[in-house]
Structure 1
Amino acid sequence: MESHRYVILKGSTIKSVDGSSCPKGLISLRNDILQDAKKSYINGEVAELLQDVEIPFTSPSSAGSFCTGAACQGTEAWVDKDGKKYPTEWWQEEK
């Protein structure tokens, strides 16, 4: 939270297919990751990120769009296991 970076870590699961609304700037990054067997393992509609893949983003929307392969509103898309939205509700609890 302190760095205001959003990092998709190895072991994360992402969609393996780009949607029509996937931001153009993320398509080549997604393709690089998804087409490299050392970086991802594709199983149908999802892919697991492997090894030392850690991808930093500066916004929750970019990180969310990378994971979903489609445009998304990051502050609405990211929720924890209890359904709390990120970053607003998570950050409020940390203070």
Structure 2
Amino acid sequence: MQNAESNDAVLNNQGMILDNQNMILDNQDTIVKNQDSLLNNQNTIIKNQDAILNNQETIVKNQASLDAIIANQETMLSLLKKIAGEA
């Protein structure tokens, strides 16, 4: 009788060990999925940083264009003042 109870206890322990091993495998699978998600997020962050850099470069170019437009307007204003003074 004790032998059968011992065997049952061993089987129960083995069953619990298998359950724990399955939980460990599930957790490892979740960890891998989370790491994959983190990598995807990091790649997205890098792409967004590249886009921000491109936008900043465009802003600098646009500012240079605006500076040129302002210089042209100042030249035109100066010429108009000269013309108005001559008229």
- Range class of TM-score, shorter chain: under 0.3
The TM-score normalised by the length of structure 1 is: 0.16
Q: Which has the higher helix share?
A: 2
TM-score by length of 2: 0.17
Relative contact order higher in (CA < 8 Å, ≥ 6 apart): 1
